[in-house]
């Protein structure tokens, strides 16, 4: 797929941010991870990349979810994909990520 001169090539979720919480207590590590995932959500919404994230956000808001809850739910879809990459050594699957977004607010 050619890349527009106005857009950067798509990076996998795992490439979006590297988190190294070594040396910190578990609560701090969880907060660091949570903050990083919400940063990814915000970047994907702001950059419309992938565009399905903004569509999912709008759909969740339209269903009555708060901004915070809509972002948290999208973050759950991201976290699920990242956990599979890290713990199961599987590759990022864009279609699986989009299916998880489409299923929201139901978490699988």
- One DSSP character per residue, the chain reads -PPPTTSPPP--HHHH-----TTS-HHHHHHHHHHHHHHHHHHHHHHTSSHHHHHHHHHHHHTT--HHHHHHHHHHHHHHHHHHHHHS-PPP-HHHHHHHHHHTTS--
> 69 pLDDT exceeds 90?
yes
5-53: per-residue pLDDT in tens?
A: 444 444 444 444 444 445 545 678 999 999 999 999 999 999 999 999 9
Among the listed residues 19, 52, 18, the one whose alpha carbon sits nearest the alpha carbon of residue 77: 52
Mean pLDDT of 46-71: 97
């Amino acid at each position: 797929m050619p890349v527009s001169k106005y857009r950067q090539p798509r990076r996998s979720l795992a490439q979006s941010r590297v988190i190294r919480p070594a040396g910190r207590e578990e609560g701090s590590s969880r907060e660091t991870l949570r903050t990083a995932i919400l940063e990814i959500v915000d970047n994907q919404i702001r950059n419309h990349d992938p565009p399905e994230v903004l569509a999912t956000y709008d759909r969740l808001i339209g269903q009555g979810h708060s901004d915070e809850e809509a972002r948290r739910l999208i973050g759950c879809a991201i976290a699920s994909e990242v956990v599979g990459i890290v713990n199961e050594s599987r590759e990022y699957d864009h279609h699986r990520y989009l299916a998880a977004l489409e299923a929201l607010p139901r978490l699988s």
